[in-house]
Amino acid sequence: MINLNVFSKLVGIALFASLIMSCERTNCEEEEPKLTFDTLMLNNSRDTLIYTVKFSDCQGDIGHIGAIDSNTTRTVRSFLFELIDNKWERWYPLPENLSDTLAFFSVIPGSSKNRAGWLLEGTIVQDFGLANLRQNSDTIRFETYILDNAENKSNRVVSSPFVFSSL
C-alpha cells in the first residue's frame, strides 16, 4: 500500500518540475526571428482580405512598448505582388498616393511579458480592404518579413495567391 503523504509529495515534486521545465530559457544560436505563413482569407462580409503569419523569436526582443508615432520603426513589412504576364511583380503606389502603403507596414505591440532570452511566439494579423488591393491584375499575393528590436531581419514568407472573383 502506498503512503498517501509520500504519494502527494511525489506528485507535488513532479508538478513543480514540469512547471520549471515549461519556463525554461530557450538557448538557440539564431538571432533572427522566424516567420511562417498561416492564412489568407476573406472575412465573413467578403470585403476584407485577412492575412495572418506566425512568428517566433528565441531572444524575445520583439515589440514596441509605448506610444507609436511617425518615428516608431515599422517592424512588420508586407509587400503586395501582382501576377502580370505570368510573373510576380511588386506593386508600388503612385508618388501622390504614398499613404496607400501605410496598411502594409505596422508595429508589433510589446508586452510586459516579453523577456530577453526567452522564446516569444505570436500571430500577426493584417486586414486589407479588397477595394484598395486590386490594381493591374486579378491575382495577388503578399510577402512579409519582420524586424526584432535589434533590427535582426526574419526570413521572408510568401502568402498563397488570392484571385479576385469576376464582377
Prediction pTM value: 0.76
Task: State pLDDT tens for residues 61-110.
Answer: 888 888 888 888 899 999 999 999 999 999 987 766 655 566 789 998 88
Residue 105 and residue 98 in contact, taking contact as beta carbons nearer than 8 Å = no
Looking at residue 27, its pLDDT comes to: 63
Looking at residue 96, its pLDDT comes to: 65
Looking at residue 5, its pLDDT comes to: 45
Asked whether residue 87 is assigned to any structural domain, the reply reads yes
Asked whether residue 155 is assigned to any structural domain, the reply reads yes
pLDDT range class, residue 28, cuts 50, 70, 90:
low
The whole-number average pLDDT for the span 21-36 is 69
Computed over every residue of the chain, the mean pLDDT equals: 80
Q: Single out the residue of 120, 6, 102, 127 nearest to residue 61, CA to CA.
A: 120
Q: Single out the residue of 62, 55, 52, 26 nearest to residue 155, CA to CA.
A: 55
Instruction: Extract the runs of DSSP E, i.e. beta strands, from the chain.
Output: 34-42, 48-57, 76-84, 87-90, 105-106, 120-129, 139-146, 157-158, 162-163
Asked whether residue 14 is assigned to any structural domain, the reply reads no
Q: In the predicted model, is pLDDT for residue 136 greater than 60?
A: yes
Looking at residue 16, its pLDDT comes to: 43
Task: Enter the C-alpha cell of residue 95.
Answer: 508618388
In the chain, the percentage of residues whose pLDDT exceeds 70 is 73
Looking at residue 26, its pLDDT comes to: 56
Domain span at residue 99?
Answer: 28-163
| 78: amino acid identity, one letter | S
Asked whether residue 38 is assigned to any structural domain, the reply reads yes
Residue 94 exposure: Cα atoms within 13 Å on the Cβ side: 3
Domain count, the chain: 1
Asked whether residue 4 is assigned to any structural domain, the reply reads no
CATH code of residue 95: 2.60.40
* Alpha carbons 39 and 155: distance in angstroms, whole number: 17
